[in-house]
Amino acid sequence: MSSWRAVVGVGGGIAAYKAAELVRELARRGIQSQVVMTAAAQEFVRPLTFAALTGRKVITSLFGSSPEEVLASSVEHIGVAREHDMLVVAPATADLLAKFAHGLADDFLSTLYLAFDRKVLLAPSMNTVMWRNAATQSNVAALRARGHVVMEPEEGELACGESGSGRLPEPARIAEEAHYQLARRHDLDGETVLVTAGPTREPIDPVRFLSNRSSGKMGYALAEAAAWRGARVILVSGPVELAAPLHVECVRVETAREMRDAVLAHLPESTIVIKSAAVADYHVANVPAQKIKKTATRLPLELDPTPDILAEAGAEIERAGRGQLLIGFAAETENVVGEAKRKLKAKRCHMVVANNVAAEGLGFESDDNEVTLVTQAGEVIDLARAKKRELADRILDEALRLRLELYSRS
Ligand code: PMT
């Protein structure tokens, strides 16, 4: 796992306690925290909480209490600024936003901010009227114009009893944004990647459906990886429990027919299409308007094939001739590579990701996967067992190589 270092600045707001969860979420993503608390933050949470979580001294003031400490701490903000990759401030209060915007430096955090020349991520939290106030909004605009990321606060009930925009974004979301900002690459800049993910649900009656075990993890990992590499990402997702990754446009669908319509609608603007969704192959021919009663001992269901979205996309991409790259998946339990080669040809893909879904702990629902890439040029590339997120980057490496080949030929 990569190792980044972030200064986590904690401002004095009721959401200060959530910074503890943020520090844990950052650690989960391989980002170490050095916590800095303002005097006001210490009224809400004790530094000991953060010291225990990070195993490091929490910085609470610009000057120490002894003469030696005063001497050391007079330049500490410079050292801390140079040793860290990112400054994350959560909660960023109206007061902190104003100080940063205007360059006031009267405590450790605001002094550190002035000395910090790397990425800055601010997660505001305050009363909704304070957030909407023209002074705050102009400070936010100034900070964004400086290249800092200022997250939008969330809507909801606020500690003051009022409701509206002003809640601190969820710590997991702040950590995701921090990770994105740190890990962001640019090799897919200019590409539009269309990813399908998850299962589809084909209704049997108004309360029942046919579906499969796809969790969406593989497709969501691909969508996130592509966004982190600079692509615009359109994620067409069947029903899953996952939150859409940040910086991804998510189109939610239920049935194969809806997925087809969404894919075809976004196909013209896409340069790379990756179909990792587990689309139901059949749907019920005549779905009754009312719930089927339990009367018969056997209930025959008549099934019709769903549209083959991959094959339709393949035909359309070939017809349009604009150098778009098409990647299919093949979930198989036997003759995995042979079936992938057959699908590659039949559906006019440039590459198929062959996924053996019979292996224990791999494929459907798991965090890990192991796949073989089969390309039009006859290459067979085995990707050893790894986290789906890591495999997503490997798949995109090959996608980028093929896309550049297509581009140079067109
Ligand atoms: O979601 P997870 O729990 O993370 O699991 C990941 C996964 C196992 C679902 C994924 O890695 C995977 O293998 N996805 C493809 C599943 C599948 O439906 O495979 P298939 O061999 O039945 O379909 C072949 C290809 O045709 C796929 O790209 C599929 O999206 C596409 N297809 C299938 C049927 C259909 N009507 N339209 C399609 O476009």
329 lines ligand 1 (CB under 6 A): yes
Residue 409 has pLDDT above 80, yes or no: no
Taking a C-beta distance cutoff of 8 angstroms, is the pair 219, 237 a contact?
yes
- The percentage of residues in the chain with a pLDDT greater than 90, rounded to a whole number, is 87
pLDDT band at 82; cut points 50, 70, 90 = confident
Residue matched to tokens 């600079």: 230
* Atom 33 of ligand 1, residue of closest alpha carbon: 279
- The CA 276 to ligand 1 mean position distance, Å, reads 5
Catalytic choice (52, 70, 160, 358): 160
Active site residue 250: no
- The pLDDT score that the predictor gives to residue 263 is 98
Q: Which CATH number fits domain 4-183: 1.20.1070.10, 3.90.1580.10, 3.30.450.40, 3.40.50.1950?
A: 3.40.50.1950
Dump pLDDT digits (tens) for 130-182: 999 999 999 999 999 999 999 999 998 877 788 888 999 999 999 999 999 99
Task: Tell me which of 242, 253, 310 to substitute to probe ligand 1's pocket, judged by most ligand atoms within 8 Å of the beta carbon.
Answer: 310
- The CA 234 to ligand 1 mean position distance, Å, reads 17
What is each CA distance from 403 to 110, 180, 265, 286, 409, in whole angstroms? 46, 24, 21, 42, 10
- The pLDDT score that the predictor gives to residue 64 is 66
- The pLDDT score that the predictor gives to residue 70 is 55
Q: List, in sequence order, every beta strand (DSSP E) within 98-191.
A: 119-124, 149-150, 154-157, 163-167
CA distance 313 to 255: 17
At 361, give phi and psi (nearest 5°). 75, 10
Taking a C-beta distance cutoff of 8 angstroms, is the pair 49, 19 a contact?
no
- The CA 403 to ligand 1 mean position distance, Å, reads 22
281 lines ligand 1 (CB under 6 A): yes
In the DSSP assignment, the letter for residue 400 is H
More confident residue, 95 or 76: 95
Shortest CA distance to 33 belongs to which of 50, 13, 15? 50
Mean pLDDT of 47-73: 80
At 393, give phi and psi (nearest 5°). -65, -40
* Atom 24 of ligand 1, residue of closest alpha carbon: 330
From the centroid of its chain, how far is CA 318? 31
Task: Tell me which of 263, 279, 341 to substitute to probe ligand 1's pocket, judged by most ligand atoms within 8 Å of the beta carbon.
Answer: 279
Q: Which CATH number fits domain 192-289+301-409: 3.40.50.10300, 3.40.630.40, 3.40.50.620, 2.40.50.100?
A: 3.40.50.10300
CA distance 86 to 181: 9
CA distance 108 to 34: 13
CA distance 344 to 338: 10
214 lines ligand 1 (CB under 6 A): yes
13 lines ligand 1 (CB under 6 A): no
Dump pLDDT digits (tens) for 366-396: 999 999 999 999 999 999 999 999 999 999 9
- The pLDDT score that the predictor gives to residue 67 is 61
The residues spanned by each domain of the chain are 4-183, 192-289+301-409
Residue matched to tokens 């800095």: 36
Dump pLDDT digits (tens) for 229-288: 999 999 999 999 999 999 999 999 999 999 999 999 999 999 999 999 999 999 999 999
- Strand 192-197, strand 86-92: pairing: unpaired
Residue 71 has pLDDT above 60, yes or no: no
- The percentage of residues in the chain with a pLDDT greater than 70, rounded to a whole number, is 96
Going 362 to 363 to 366 to 371, the CA torsion angle's sign is: positive
DSSP-assigned states of every residue in 217-270: HHHHHHHHHHHHTT-EEEEEE-S-SPPPPTT-EEEE--SHHHHHHHHHHHGGG-
Helix, strand, coil percent content, the chain, rounded in steps of 5: 40, 25, 35
- The CA 265 to ligand 1 mean position distance, Å, reads 20
244 lines ligand 1 (CB under 6 A): no
How does the average pLDDT of the chain come out, rounded? 94
Fold match between domain 4-183 and domain 192-289+301-409: yes
